[in-house]
Amino acid sequence: MNAIELSHVSTAKPVLLGDSLTELEVMRDVSLSVPEGEILALIGPSGSGKSTLLRMINRMEDPTSGRIFLFGSDIANLDVKELRRRVGMVSQTPALLPGDVADNIAYGPNLRGEPCNPGDYLEHVGLERELLRRPASALSVGQQQRMCIARALANHPDVLLLDEPTSALDRTASRNIVELILRLNEKLGLTVIIVTHVMEHAQALATRVAMLVGGSLIEQGPAVDFFESPATETGRKFLRGELAEDGR
Amino acid sequence: MDANSYIHISNLDLVIALLFIAISAAVSRWQRLGLERDMAVGTVRAFAQLLAVGFVLQQLFNVPRWHWVILALAIMTTVAAYNAVKRQTGAKHGLFAVMAAAIATGASITLILVIGIVLRVRPWYQPQYVIPIAGMVIGNCMTGAALVVNRLHSELTLRRNQVEAALALGAPAKEAASEAMRESLRAAMMPTINSMMTVGLVHLPGMMTGQMISGASPVDAVRYQIVVMLMIAAATAVTAMVAVFGALRAFFTPFHQLSARLELGEAWDAYVRKKSKH
């Protein structure tokens, strides 16, 4: 079964160009599916719509046309809060909620009045239980990012969306996050969609790859195939690092 | 001098008072501030507006009718709501109803209490009491409503990441914005609390001075002022509360998403107008 499926998704956003307001097409007719338990790497030059695509899956934004399905149900018909519980999201830079580490991790379950043992999730992401009572802001950035992953896990999600989760981290911390994602995918069967600029990470993680350029889907398929021989000239150029932001 | 015979200001006195504007104009000319034109317009407007209001109020006072008093209150509230919207730095679309509801709620609750229970004005619509007190309450509600919504806008912009992190975990908009709402409410209520700290020491409120000039004893004037200050504190709190919840509906979509109006600022108004045309 497909955990996530996008069907002909397009979106335009109002943007300010100087003084005048124009609607900019950010995504054009994207259809894409992610089978349950797989890791999809979303790649492409910056400004190609990768983050927008992620944000549409948990309805932080809505497409102007097209439909998105979570395990076969149209997300427009799901309760937004329940959708977001099932689809966890971790942003580029760790976004801390007020309080200590335990408060952060238990935030989701607390909203619904469910019990939560924050220490367990801390262990899941390889952090010590002693950190529970520390203010979240006292952790290193790498630890904070792990905490954000633990926070998403405490909601028992089916899908995890990661928006360049390593871009604020050094090499060691990045490698640890990559290993953590692999472990969670294996242990929990989590479906993962990760936006990344680091091809090394995409290669280490992904079972599938989707490449966006200028809001259009250029390639999608098994990761092995893509990294061995991309189907398009644009894909080859991108892997060689020769693709400019506008896709030429 | 008895209580009713304070010194009246004649037309000639008013003309003499124009000397004051001449002094400001002289400063402006001397320092090349270029404010002379604005000063002239301001003077004319102040004369015209105040004389007109004085005339209308005089009619109201001569023939007190409850429906005229209500109409006056409605006009005051409308103008206040319009001004509270005008003071917003971000997009303004959809905020007039929020401001009007907030100011009307905050002002009417406190006015009913003060007129009905504290002062026990009989009949309740005596313009001599209702109009000046309502003026002070509505004016402060306007400031409170304008402050709270402006602040909520900037807090949500500033805390965008945090708010979206909470939303992404399944929090409803109200919960995700709770920190921002608290900060905004605090900001809206601080001026009233601060003025309670310094009242009498630094400034003498207009109403109190007015009462004393018209012959009331300072002790009586002070009693009124205490009631008014407490009333304003309550009215501001209620208004800010209603405004912050109302504005939340403008800053978030019904699907618990941050609205694009936060990024677009004033351009949002043009965008909404364009969309509704299609």
Q: How far apart are CA B107 and CA B239, in angstroms?
A: 8
Which one of B155, B156, B160, B169 would you mutate to disrupt binding with A, by most A Cβ within 10 Å of its Cβ?
A: B169
Cβ neighbours of B93 in A, within 8 Å: none
- What residues does each domain of chain A span? 2-14+23-239
Q: How far apart are CA B72 and CA B131, in angstroms?
A: 8
> What is the CATH architecture assignment of A2-14+23-239?
3-Layer(aba) Sandwich (3.40)
> What integer pLDDT is reported at residue B201 of this predicted model?
85
> What integer pLDDT is reported at residue B203 of this predicted model?
79
Element holding B156 (H helix, E strand):
helix B127-158
Q: Nearest CA to CA, how far is A155 from chain B (Å)?
A: 7
Is the pLDDT at B197 greater than 70? The verdict is yes
Q: How far apart are CA B103 and CA B84, in angstroms?
A: 10
Q: Nearest CA to CA, how far is A59 from chain B (Å)?
A: 7
- What residues does each domain of chain B span? 1-63, 64-277
Residue in B with minimal Cα distance to A108: B169
A48 touches chain B (CB under 8 A): no
B93 touches chain A (CB under 8 A): no
Q: Are A111 and B171 inside 8 Å of each other by CB?
A: yes
Residue in B with minimal Cα distance to A154: B169
Higher local confidence (pLDDT), A248 or B254 = B254
Q: Say if CB A123 and CB A95 are below 8 A apart.
A: no
> What integer pLDDT is reported at residue A245 of this predicted model?
66
Q: What is the pLDDT of residues A12-42, one digit of tens each?
A: 998 887 777 888 899 999 999 999 999 999 9
Percent of chain A predicted with pLDDT > 90: 88
B 238-267 residues inside an 8 A Cβ radius of A:
255-258, 260, 264, 267
A67 touches chain B (CB under 8 A): no
A95 touches chain B (CB under 8 A): yes
Taking the alpha carbons at both ends of chain A, their separation in whole angstroms is 36
Cβ neighbours of B267 in A, within 8 Å: 14, 16, 21
B117 touches chain A (CB under 8 A): no
Q: How far apart are CA A90 and CA B271, in angstroms?
A: 31
- Does the ipTM surpass 0.90? yes
Q: Nearest CA to CA, how far is A124 from chain B (Å)?
A: 18
Higher local confidence (pLDDT), B206 or A81 = A81
- Of B166, B255, B264, which has the smallest distance from its Cβ to A80's Cβ? B255
Cβ neighbours of A60 in B, within 8 Å: 164, 167-168, 257-258
Cβ neighbours of A80 in B, within 8 Å: 255-256
Cβ neighbours of A91 in B, within 8 Å: 161, 164-165, 168
Confidence band for B204, pLDDT divided at 50, 70 and 90: confident
Residue in B with minimal Cα distance to A58: B168
Q: What is the pLDDT of residues A94-131, one digit of tens each?
A: 999 999 999 999 999 999 999 999 999 999 999 999 99
Is the pLDDT at B4 greater than 60? The verdict is no
Cβ neighbours of A95 in B, within 8 Å: 161-162, 164-165
Cβ neighbours of B258 in A, within 8 Å: 60
Is the pLDDT at A212 greater than 50? The verdict is yes
> What integer pLDDT is reported at residue B270 of this predicted model?
85
* Backbone φ, ψ for residue A162 (5° rounding): -120, 120
Bin A155: left if φ > 0, else alpha if -120 < ψ < 50, else beta: alpha
The mean pLDDT of chain A is 94
Confidence band for B1, pLDDT divided at 50, 70 and 90: very low
Q: What is the pLDDT of residues B31-51, one digit of tens each?
A: 999 999 999 999 999 999 999
Using CA atoms, how far residue A15 sits from B7, B261, B263, in Å, is: 62, 10, 9
Q: How far apart are CA B240 and CA B222, in angstroms?
A: 27
Q: How far apart are CA A89 and CA A79, in angstroms?
A: 17
Q: How far apart are CA A169 and CA A175, in angstroms?
A: 9
Q: How far apart are CA A192 and CA A72, in angstroms?
A: 17
Cβ neighbours of B165 in A, within 8 Å: 91, 95-97, 148
Helix, strand and coil in chain B, % to nearest 5: 75, 0, 20
Q: How far apart are CA A199 and CA B96, in angstroms?
A: 51
Q: What is the pLDDT of residues B132-180, one digit of tens each?
A: 999 999 999 999 999 999 999 999 999 999 999 999 999 999 999 999 9
* Backbone φ, ψ for residue B172 (5° rounding): -70, 160
Averaged pLDDT, A156-167 = 96
Which one of A55, A68, A80 would you mutate to disrupt binding with B, by most B Cβ within 10 Å of its Cβ?
A: A80
Q: Say if CB B153 and CB B184 are below 8 A apart.
A: no
Q: Nearest CA to CA, how far is A43 from chain B (Å)?
A: 22
Kindly report the number of other CB atoms within 10 A of residue A83's CB atom: 21
Q: Are A81 and B260 inside 8 Å of each other by CB?
A: no
Q: How far apart are CA B106 and CA B239, in angstroms?
A: 4
> What integer pLDDT is reported at residue A228 of this predicted model?
94
**Lowest mean pLDDT: which of A30-44, B78-92, B207-221?**
B207-221
A241 touches chain B (CB under 8 A): no
Instruction: Give me the numbers of helices (H) and strands (E) for chain A, helices first please.
Output: 10, 10
